[in-house]
Structure 1
Amino acid sequence: MHRIVKLAAIAAASTAAVAVTASPALAWTNGPYHATTSALVVKVSGSPVATCTGSVLSGTMTTAGTFTVTAASATGCGVTVTPTGFPWSGSFSGGNATISNFKMSALGCTYAGSLSGPATGAMPPATVTFTDRPVSGTGLFCFSNVTVSATYVFTQP
Protein backbone atom coordinates (compact mmCIF):
# COMPACT_ATOMS: atom_id res chain seq x y z
CA MET A 1 0.00 0.00 0.00
CA HIS A 2 2.86 2.36 0.87
CA ARG A 3 4.40 1.66 -2.50
CA ILE A 4 1.20 2.67 -4.36
CA VAL A 5 0.95 5.90 -2.33
CA LYS A 6 4.60 6.73 -3.12
CA LEU A 7 4.09 6.04 -6.84
CA ALA A 8 0.97 8.20 -6.86
CA ALA A 9 2.88 11.03 -5.10
CA ILE A 10 5.74 10.79 -7.62
CA ALA A 11 3.30 10.82 -10.54
CA ALA A 12 1.48 13.85 -9.10
CA ALA A 13 4.76 15.71 -8.55
CA SER A 14 5.91 14.94 -12.10
CA THR A 15 2.62 16.20 -13.52
CA ALA A 16 2.88 19.38 -11.45
CA ALA A 17 6.47 19.97 -12.65
CA VAL A 18 5.40 19.63 -16.28
CA ALA A 19 2.46 21.99 -15.70
CA VAL A 20 4.75 24.61 -14.13
CA THR A 21 7.35 24.46 -16.90
CA ALA A 22 4.85 24.51 -19.77
CA SER A 23 4.20 28.21 -20.33
CA PRO A 24 1.00 29.30 -22.09
CA ALA A 25 2.31 32.89 -22.26
CA LEU A 26 2.98 32.70 -25.99
CA ALA A 27 -0.20 31.23 -27.40
CA TRP A 28 0.42 32.44 -30.94
CA THR A 29 -0.32 30.22 -33.88
CA ASN A 30 1.63 30.15 -37.13
CA GLY A 31 -0.12 32.51 -39.51
CA PRO A 32 -1.28 36.05 -40.11
CA TYR A 33 -1.67 38.78 -37.50
CA HIS A 34 -2.76 42.42 -37.41
CA ALA A 35 -1.62 45.15 -35.03
CA THR A 36 -3.56 48.41 -34.78
CA THR A 37 -3.15 51.70 -32.97
CA SER A 38 -5.26 54.84 -32.83
CA ALA A 39 -2.26 57.12 -32.28
CA LEU A 40 1.22 57.01 -33.78
CA VAL A 41 3.15 60.05 -32.54
CA VAL A 42 6.38 61.35 -34.07
CA LYS A 43 8.25 63.90 -31.99
CA VAL A 44 11.27 66.10 -32.70
CA SER A 45 13.16 67.15 -29.58
CA GLY A 46 10.12 66.19 -27.49
CA SER A 47 7.55 68.20 -29.51
CA PRO A 48 4.99 66.35 -31.66
CA VAL A 49 5.40 67.01 -35.41
CA ALA A 50 3.01 64.33 -36.62
CA THR A 51 0.21 62.60 -34.75
CA CYS A 52 -1.35 59.92 -36.92
CA THR A 53 -4.92 58.90 -36.09
CA GLY A 54 -4.27 55.30 -37.10
CA SER A 55 -1.64 52.78 -38.00
CA VAL A 56 -1.84 49.12 -38.94
CA LEU A 57 0.93 46.53 -39.09
CA SER A 58 0.40 43.10 -40.64
CA GLY A 59 2.39 40.04 -41.53
CA THR A 60 3.02 36.56 -40.22
CA MET A 61 3.56 35.23 -36.71
CA THR A 62 5.17 32.02 -35.48
CA THR A 63 4.27 29.94 -32.45
CA ALA A 64 7.56 31.10 -30.88
CA GLY A 65 6.36 34.73 -30.94
CA THR A 66 8.62 35.90 -33.77
CA PHE A 67 6.97 37.85 -36.56
CA THR A 68 7.55 39.75 -39.76
CA VAL A 69 5.89 42.98 -40.76
CA THR A 70 5.19 42.76 -44.48
CA ALA A 71 2.78 45.71 -44.72
CA ALA A 72 2.07 48.84 -42.68
CA SER A 73 0.08 52.02 -42.93
CA ALA A 74 -0.06 55.37 -41.16
CA THR A 75 -3.15 57.51 -41.69
CA GLY A 76 -4.41 60.91 -40.58
CA CYS A 77 -0.90 62.24 -39.93
CA GLY A 78 -1.25 65.73 -41.40
CA VAL A 79 1.75 64.90 -43.61
CA THR A 80 2.33 61.90 -45.84
CA VAL A 81 3.97 59.11 -43.86
CA THR A 82 4.98 56.06 -45.90
CA PRO A 83 6.20 52.84 -44.30
CA THR A 84 9.06 51.33 -46.36
CA GLY A 85 11.85 48.75 -46.31
CA PHE A 86 9.79 45.60 -45.75
CA PRO A 87 10.03 43.12 -44.26
CA TRP A 88 10.63 44.33 -40.74
CA SER A 89 11.35 41.62 -38.16
CA GLY A 90 10.06 41.36 -34.63
CA SER A 91 9.66 39.20 -31.57
CA PHE A 92 7.92 38.80 -28.25
CA SER A 93 10.25 37.73 -25.45
CA GLY A 94 10.25 38.05 -21.69
CA GLY A 95 7.32 40.47 -21.50
CA ASN A 96 8.74 42.75 -24.19
CA ALA A 97 8.32 43.17 -27.93
CA THR A 98 10.84 44.46 -30.45
CA ILE A 99 10.50 45.51 -34.08
CA SER A 100 13.81 45.70 -35.95
CA ASN A 101 14.31 47.44 -39.29
CA PHE A 102 11.42 49.86 -38.66
CA LYS A 103 11.44 52.41 -41.46
CA MET A 104 9.06 55.21 -42.49
CA SER A 105 9.48 58.14 -44.87
CA ALA A 106 8.07 61.64 -44.36
CA LEU A 107 8.94 65.12 -45.62
CA GLY A 108 11.74 63.85 -47.87
CA CYS A 109 13.49 61.91 -45.12
CA THR A 110 13.54 58.26 -44.12
CA TYR A 111 13.49 57.53 -40.40
CA ALA A 112 14.66 54.11 -39.26
CA GLY A 113 15.51 52.20 -36.12
CA SER A 114 14.36 49.54 -33.70
CA LEU A 115 11.28 49.89 -31.55
CA SER A 116 11.02 48.04 -28.26
CA GLY A 117 8.63 48.15 -25.35
CA PRO A 118 6.61 46.17 -22.84
CA ALA A 119 4.02 43.65 -23.99
CA THR A 120 1.03 42.94 -21.77
CA GLY A 121 -2.10 40.85 -21.89
CA ALA A 122 -2.90 37.30 -22.87
CA MET A 123 -1.22 36.54 -26.15
CA PRO A 124 -3.13 36.94 -28.41
CA PRO A 125 -4.21 39.65 -28.06
CA ALA A 126 -1.18 41.48 -26.77
CA THR A 127 -0.78 45.20 -26.18
CA VAL A 128 2.66 46.58 -26.96
CA THR A 129 3.67 50.11 -25.96
CA PHE A 130 6.53 51.85 -27.71
CA THR A 131 7.31 55.11 -25.90
CA ASP A 132 9.65 57.75 -27.35
CA ARG A 133 11.78 55.23 -29.23
CA PRO A 134 14.60 57.04 -31.09
CA VAL A 135 14.89 56.75 -34.87
CA SER A 136 17.55 58.19 -37.19
CA GLY A 137 16.83 60.25 -40.27
CA THR A 138 18.56 60.06 -43.63
CA GLY A 139 18.04 62.53 -46.43
CA LEU A 140 18.51 66.24 -47.03
CA PHE A 141 17.52 68.54 -44.12
CA CYS A 142 16.20 65.77 -41.86
CA PHE A 143 15.27 66.36 -38.25
CA SER A 144 17.47 64.97 -35.51
CA ASN A 145 16.28 63.85 -32.06
CA VAL A 146 13.23 62.10 -33.57
CA THR A 147 11.21 59.62 -31.50
CA VAL A 148 8.23 57.38 -32.24
CA SER A 149 5.48 56.41 -29.78
CA ALA A 150 2.51 54.09 -30.29
CA THR A 151 0.49 51.45 -28.51
CA TYR A 152 -0.36 48.55 -30.82
CA VAL A 153 -2.79 45.73 -30.11
CA PHE A 154 -1.64 42.50 -31.82
CA THR A 155 -4.38 40.02 -32.74
CA GLN A 156 -4.74 36.94 -34.90
CA PRO A 157 -7.81 36.09 -36.96
Structure 2
Amino acid sequence: MLVETREISVLGKEDCGIVDITEMVSKEVKSSKIRNGTVTVFCVGSTGAVSTMEFEPNLSKDVSETLDKLIPLDKDYHHHKIWGDYNGGSHLRALLVGPSFMVPFVEKRPTLGTWQQIVCINFDRLERTRKIVLQIIGEF
Protein backbone atom coordinates (compact mmCIF):
# COMPACT_ATOMS: atom_id res chain seq x y z
CA MET A 1 0.00 0.00 0.00
CA LEU A 2 1.29 3.43 -0.95
CA VAL A 3 0.56 6.75 0.74
CA GLU A 4 1.10 10.20 -0.78
CA THR A 5 0.31 13.47 0.94
CA ARG A 6 -0.39 16.61 -1.06
CA GLU A 7 -1.58 20.15 -0.28
CA ILE A 8 -3.75 22.54 -2.21
CA SER A 9 -4.98 26.03 -1.28
CA VAL A 10 -8.13 27.94 -2.16
CA LEU A 11 -9.44 31.41 -1.40
CA GLY A 12 -12.90 31.36 0.20
CA LYS A 13 -15.15 34.38 0.59
CA GLU A 14 -16.41 35.14 4.10
CA ASP A 15 -19.59 33.70 5.67
CA CYS A 16 -20.12 30.53 3.62
CA GLY A 17 -17.81 31.00 0.65
CA ILE A 18 -18.14 27.73 -1.28
CA VAL A 19 -15.35 26.82 -3.71
CA ASP A 20 -15.43 23.88 -6.13
CA ILE A 21 -12.15 21.98 -5.68
CA THR A 22 -13.09 18.88 -7.70
CA GLU A 23 -10.61 19.53 -10.50
CA MET A 24 -7.79 20.34 -8.08
CA VAL A 25 -8.34 17.10 -6.15
CA SER A 26 -8.73 15.08 -9.37
CA LYS A 27 -5.49 16.53 -10.74
CA GLU A 28 -3.57 15.50 -7.60
CA VAL A 29 -5.01 11.98 -7.71
CA LYS A 30 -4.18 11.67 -11.41
CA SER A 31 -0.58 12.84 -10.91
CA SER A 32 0.03 10.45 -8.00
CA LYS A 33 1.66 7.04 -8.37
CA ILE A 34 -1.46 5.44 -6.94
CA ARG A 35 -3.94 3.92 -9.36
CA ASN A 36 -6.79 2.66 -7.15
CA GLY A 37 -7.61 3.68 -3.60
CA THR A 38 -9.04 6.54 -1.59
CA VAL A 39 -8.26 10.21 -1.14
CA THR A 40 -8.97 11.83 2.18
CA VAL A 41 -9.72 15.54 1.79
CA PHE A 42 -9.04 17.54 4.99
CA CYS A 43 -9.52 21.28 5.53
CA VAL A 44 -7.01 22.73 7.97
CA GLY A 45 -8.64 25.22 10.35
CA SER A 46 -11.61 25.21 12.68
CA THR A 47 -13.85 27.52 10.62
CA GLY A 48 -13.51 25.69 7.30
CA ALA A 49 -15.08 22.49 6.03
CA VAL A 50 -15.16 20.15 3.04
CA SER A 51 -18.02 18.16 1.57
CA THR A 52 -19.69 17.17 -1.67
CA MET A 53 -22.66 18.83 -3.33
CA GLU A 54 -23.98 19.88 -6.69
CA PHE A 55 -21.97 23.05 -7.12
CA GLU A 56 -24.30 25.60 -8.67
CA PRO A 57 -25.11 29.17 -7.58
CA ASN A 58 -28.68 28.61 -6.41
CA LEU A 59 -27.83 25.58 -4.28
CA SER A 60 -24.92 27.55 -2.81
CA LYS A 61 -27.45 30.23 -1.81
CA ASP A 62 -29.72 27.54 -0.35
CA VAL A 63 -26.85 26.18 1.74
CA SER A 64 -26.04 29.64 3.07
CA GLU A 65 -29.67 30.52 3.80
CA THR A 66 -30.33 27.19 5.53
CA LEU A 67 -27.26 27.60 7.72
CA ASP A 68 -28.37 31.16 8.54
CA LYS A 69 -31.56 29.65 9.98
CA LEU A 70 -29.82 26.80 11.82
CA ILE A 71 -26.80 28.73 13.08
CA PRO A 72 -27.25 32.49 12.79
CA LEU A 73 -24.02 34.47 12.67
CA ASP A 74 -25.42 37.47 14.54
CA LYS A 75 -26.15 35.51 17.73
CA ASP A 76 -24.02 36.31 20.80
CA TYR A 77 -22.17 32.99 21.24
CA HIS A 78 -20.18 32.18 24.37
CA HIS A 79 -17.07 31.79 22.18
CA HIS A 80 -17.12 35.54 21.54
CA LYS A 81 -16.27 36.19 25.21
CA ILE A 82 -12.95 34.37 24.84
CA TRP A 83 -11.46 35.85 21.67
CA GLY A 84 -13.72 38.76 20.72
CA ASP A 85 -13.61 37.76 17.05
CA TYR A 86 -17.36 37.05 16.79
CA ASN A 87 -16.97 33.87 14.77
CA GLY A 88 -18.66 31.44 17.17
CA GLY A 89 -21.29 30.67 14.53
CA SER A 90 -18.51 30.01 12.01
CA HIS A 91 -17.02 27.37 14.30
CA LEU A 92 -20.42 25.73 14.81
CA ARG A 93 -21.11 25.62 11.07
CA ALA A 94 -17.73 24.02 10.40
CA LEU A 95 -18.38 21.50 13.16
CA LEU A 96 -21.72 20.59 11.57
CA VAL A 97 -20.35 20.08 8.04
CA GLY A 98 -17.01 18.57 9.11
CA PRO A 99 -13.35 19.06 8.25
CA SER A 100 -12.81 15.93 6.14
CA PHE A 101 -14.23 13.11 4.08
CA MET A 102 -12.97 10.31 1.86
CA VAL A 103 -13.52 9.64 -1.84
CA PRO A 104 -12.67 6.32 -3.49
CA PHE A 105 -11.01 6.41 -6.90
CA VAL A 106 -10.59 3.78 -9.61
CA GLU A 107 -8.01 4.03 -12.40
CA LYS A 108 -7.06 7.48 -11.05
CA ARG A 109 -10.65 8.81 -11.36
CA PRO A 110 -12.65 9.83 -8.28
CA THR A 111 -15.95 7.94 -8.16
CA LEU A 112 -18.19 10.99 -8.00
CA GLY A 113 -21.72 11.23 -9.34
CA THR A 114 -22.55 13.36 -12.37
CA TRP A 115 -23.80 16.26 -10.23
CA GLN A 116 -21.46 15.70 -7.29
CA GLN A 117 -18.54 18.05 -6.81
CA ILE A 118 -16.00 18.35 -3.99
CA VAL A 119 -16.25 21.69 -2.21
CA CYS A 120 -14.36 23.65 0.41
CA ILE A 121 -16.47 26.02 2.50
CA ASN A 122 -15.06 28.99 4.39
CA PHE A 123 -17.37 29.80 7.29
CA ASP A 124 -15.13 32.44 8.87
CA ARG A 125 -16.29 36.05 9.07
CA LEU A 126 -13.27 37.03 6.94
CA GLU A 127 -12.13 35.94 3.50
CA ARG A 128 -9.51 33.22 4.02
CA THR A 129 -7.06 31.15 2.07
CA ARG A 130 -7.76 27.57 3.10
CA LYS A 131 -5.10 24.88 3.12
CA ILE A 132 -6.45 21.47 2.20
CA VAL A 133 -4.43 18.33 2.84
CA LEU A 134 -5.00 15.38 0.53
CA GLN A 135 -3.88 11.96 1.68
CA ILE A 136 -3.94 9.55 -1.25
CA ILE A 137 -3.81 5.90 -0.22
CA GLY A 138 -3.95 2.77 -2.34
CA GLU A 139 -2.21 0.48 -4.76
CA PHE A 140 -0.11 1.05 -7.84
TM-score category by the smaller chain?
under 0.3
- Which of 1 and 2 has greater Rg? 1
Q: Which has the higher helix share?
A: 2
Q: Which has the higher strand share?
A: 1
TM-score, with structure 1 as normaliser = 0.25
Instruction: Point out which structure has higher relative CO (alpha carbons under 8 A, 6+ apart).
Output: 2
